[in-house]
Amino acid sequence: MRHFITAALLVGSFNAVAGEDVVYEVDGQPYQGYWSKVSDTAPLVILVHDWDGLTDYEIKRAEMLNEQGYNVFAADLFGQGVRPTEVKDKKQHTGELYKDRAKLQKLMAESQSKGEMLNGSGDNTVVMGYCFGGAAVLEAARAGADAKAFVTFHGGLSTPEGQSYKMTKAPVVVFHGTADTAITMKDFAMLADELEKTGIKHEMVSYGGAPHAFTVFGSERYREDADMKSWIRFNEVLVEVTK
């Protein structure tokens, strides 16, 4: 049964669901996602990693969502075994996908398809992501992916030239820090204006003093208050849009 997250759950311990690594192919190349299931009837969350690749951070977030009653497929957009640790390598892997939007869209589509196949249903899915993953989520939204909502935490917000939200089929939810110098409040405002003009239902929440990557546990950028508030609202959105 789904329920709202509490502050104690966010910062404390919880009973994790045993997940498993899942290898899948996109254009003949192997990718390694993470699948964790709570029930046959639970809604599905597609979770997209930041520029580190799929790491323990995404697995912990998947476990937190399991505790709230959701099945989770954490996608891999870099490839099996590709988990960069150096900034130059992170920039390389994200940069390659930013330059090849068709490939990024296909990776998102195939990852969502794999998650929905594992879930046994494709009509009750929310797509969410962090940082680079948030930008990838908006890429899927612009490409017309089928989902109940597209949710980004401190992700890239700019719309590439030649793209728009005309094909977007579900609400867009943005959680952003006003102290983010990588993705500025100007970017935030431009996206809000674009979504409004396009007629896409959206919710955009900003948190004062929160820098880029404010949800990353243990980081100097971590802001517990903003993390807790955004996670609570995210869980409310999940309840609102899923069956």
Mean pLDDT score across all residues of the chain: 94
Percent of the chain's residues with pLDDT above 90 = 91
DSSP secondary structure string for all residues of 19-54: -EEEEEEETTEEEEEEEE-S-SSS-EEEEE--TT-S
Pairing of strands 202-207, 172-177: parallel
Contact by Cβ (8 Å): 219, 213: yes
**Average pLDDT rounded to a whole number, residues 168-178:** 98
pLDDT at 1: 40
Q: What is the pLDDT of residues 2-49, one digit of tens each?
A: 444 444 444 444 455 779 999 999 999 999 999 999 999 999 999 999
* Structural domain boundaries in the chain: 19-241
Structural tokens at position 63: 């476990």
Model confidence at 78: pLDDT above 70: yes
pLDDT at 139 over 90: yes
The pLDDT of residue 135 is above 70? yes
DSSP state of 221: T
Residue 15 confidence (pLDDT) = 53
pLDDT of 24: 98
pLDDT tens column, 196-211? 999 999 999 999 999 9
Q: Which of 132, 130, 52 has its CA nearest to residue 86? A: 52
% residues pLDDT > 70 (the chain): 93
pTM of the predicted structure, to 2 decimals: 0.93
- Dihedral, 43, 134, 59, 18 alpha carbons, nearest 10: 10
Closest CA to 72 of 31, 112, 28, 26: 112
Residue 171 has pLDDT above 80, yes or no: yes
- In this predicted structure, what is the pLDDT of residue 9? 46
Residue 12, pLDDT score: 41
pLDDT (mean) for 46-57: 98
Under CATH, domain 19-241 is a member of which superfamily?
Answer: Alpha/Beta hydrolase fold, catalytic domain (3.40.50.1820)
pLDDT digits (tens, 9 = 90+) for 103-125: 999 999 999 999 999 999 889 99
pLDDT per position as a tens digit, 83-92: 999 999 999 9
